[in-house]
Amino acid sequence: MSDSPLVVVKDLHFSRGEMEIFRGVDLCIPRGKITAVMGPSGTGKTTLLKLIGGQLVPDAGQVLIDGADVHALSRKALFALRRRMGMLFQSGALFSDLDVYENVAFPLRVHTNLPEAMIRDVALMKLEAVGLRGARKLMPAELSGGMARRVALARAIALDPELILYDEPFVGQDPISMGVLVQLIKRLNEALGLTAIVVSHDIKETLSIADYVYVIADGEVMAHGTPATLDVDDDPRVSQFVHGEPDGPVPFHYPAVDFLTDILAAGEGR
């Protein structure tokens, strides 16, 4: 395995309508490590993953995966590249018309010509890895949120990808399934040597597993470093985010005119 980073994001610009979401983001994701991308809600973290996966096209800048510019690839080459990536969606995004087993077997069926017995072996192995081999006959609608996310994880790793993208893996989970997911992500990374990008705003869990962290705010990389260096960062914005303080440089209030003037102006209509 070479030492060059697997994913390089260079000077990425992206806007949706009038709103500028990224104004020159640079990231460097090393192989075999867990890299976390953190930031307050609404900073376009999911958008970043979609840009890396080639589903959105940036206004300027490049995303290089293993040296290939994702947005310059043909549709066919892009689909081929995506076979080497797995993505875990916030909602799990299991196919609602297939049961758990078929969901995990789906990538195998479409991308390989393996005989049915082998598909079965691989699918059961992946389900075993997330501890849900016994749930293979259930339909997605019968699963709890945490279980659905674990099945989705099994599906994402079915083809043994090199890179796996996690979109908010911890959101809306009870403490137990949160712990299970943290464990799983860590273990998968160690056992399979996967490169992982975790997008999240759950600070404690993310810092516990990440090797390197980028903090994004206002469309730019605000800070980056290992979890240890970030914890003692001097920048007040970083420390506000990392320590979860309600008010600070990132204001609690949505921009508005002065409260007193607003109250007194009541008579003159809104």
Out of 11, 77, 91, 220, the only residue in the binding site for other proteins (CB under 8 A) is: 91
Note whether 48 and 22 are within 8 A (CB): yes
Out of 80, 232, 264, 265, the only residue in the binding site for other proteins (CB under 8 A) is: 80
The residue among 99 and 202 lying less far from other proteins, judged by its C-beta, is 99
Near other proteins by CB under 8 A, which window of 1-9, 85-93, 131-139, 173-181?
Answer: 85-93
Note whether 52 and 70 are within 8 A (CB): yes
Q: CA 191, 194, 197, 199 torsion: positive or negative? A: negative
The residues with which 196 forms a beta bridge, in sequence order, are 34, 164
For the chain, how big is the Rg over CA atoms in Å? 21
Distance from C-alpha of 149 to C-alpha of 231, rounded to nearest angstrom? 29
The residue among 53 and 223 lying less far from other proteins, judged by its C-beta, is 53
The residues with which 37 forms a beta bridge, in sequence order, are 199, 214
Q: Is 85 in the site for other proteins (CB under 8 A)?
A: yes
How many of the other CB atoms lie within 10 Å of CB of 267? 5
Note whether 151 and 104 are within 8 A (CB): yes
Near other proteins by CB under 8 A, which window of 50-58, 64-72, 193-201, 234-242?
Answer: 50-58
Q: Is 169 in the site for other proteins (CB under 8 A)?
A: no
The residue among 143 and 230 lying less far from other proteins, judged by its C-beta, is 143
Which 94-123 residues touch other proteins, going by CB under 8 A? 94-96, 106-107, 109-111
User: Which positions lie near other proteins, rule CB under 8 A?
Assistant: 50, 53, 55, 79-80, 82-83, 85-87, 89-91, 93-96, 106-107, 109-111, 152, 155
